[in-house]
Amino acid sequence: MIENLTPQQSWELMQKTPDAVMIDVRTTIEHGFVGHPVGAVLVPWKDAPDWQLNVDFIKQVKQAVSDVAIPVLLLCRSGKRSLEAADVLQQAGFKYLVNILDGFEGDLDKNKHRGNLSGWRFCQLPWEQS
């Protein structure tokens, strides 16, 4: 099952379900410099310099998640890469997947800037930079 939740709903789920794991599927650069939710595990879906799919993605998620039945929340910049990753994890047998709508930075505003309309950071949920 893949459920789409807002950042706030995702945060509430994590508070109620301490064994839930958040996977940040963004690039290493995004995770470190743009910031990331506190406690999120970085497993890039694609990464620099070649921007190819991470062939070890499922293996790396399985290393971070002890049981395929616990909630796995997936986050990217705006909610699109995380949905692709959720589809692959569902095919790999994960049972409870959450795509975090609007991701970490959210949609573009009229000035083509992110973080002003929606997203984890916009909602003022806990985050940090490396």
Chain segment 1-19, per-residue pLDDT in tens = 899 999 999 999 999 999 9
* DSSP state letter for 118: S
> Domain limits of the chain?
2-128
- Cα-flanking dihedrals φ and ψ of residue 51, to 5°? 60, 25
Return the CATH number of the domain spanning residue range 2-128. 3.40.250.10
Q: Is 24 helix (H, G, I), strand (E, B) or coil?
A: strand
Q: Report pLDDT for 48.
A: 86
Cross-strand pairs, 5: 100
Contact 35, 84 (CB under 8 A): no
Q: What is the pLDDT of residues 110-126, one digit of tens each?
A: 999 999 899 999 999 99
In eight-state DSSP terms, residue 88 is: H
pTM of the model: 0.95
Query: Please, what is the end-to-end C-alpha distance for the chain in angstroms?
Result: 32
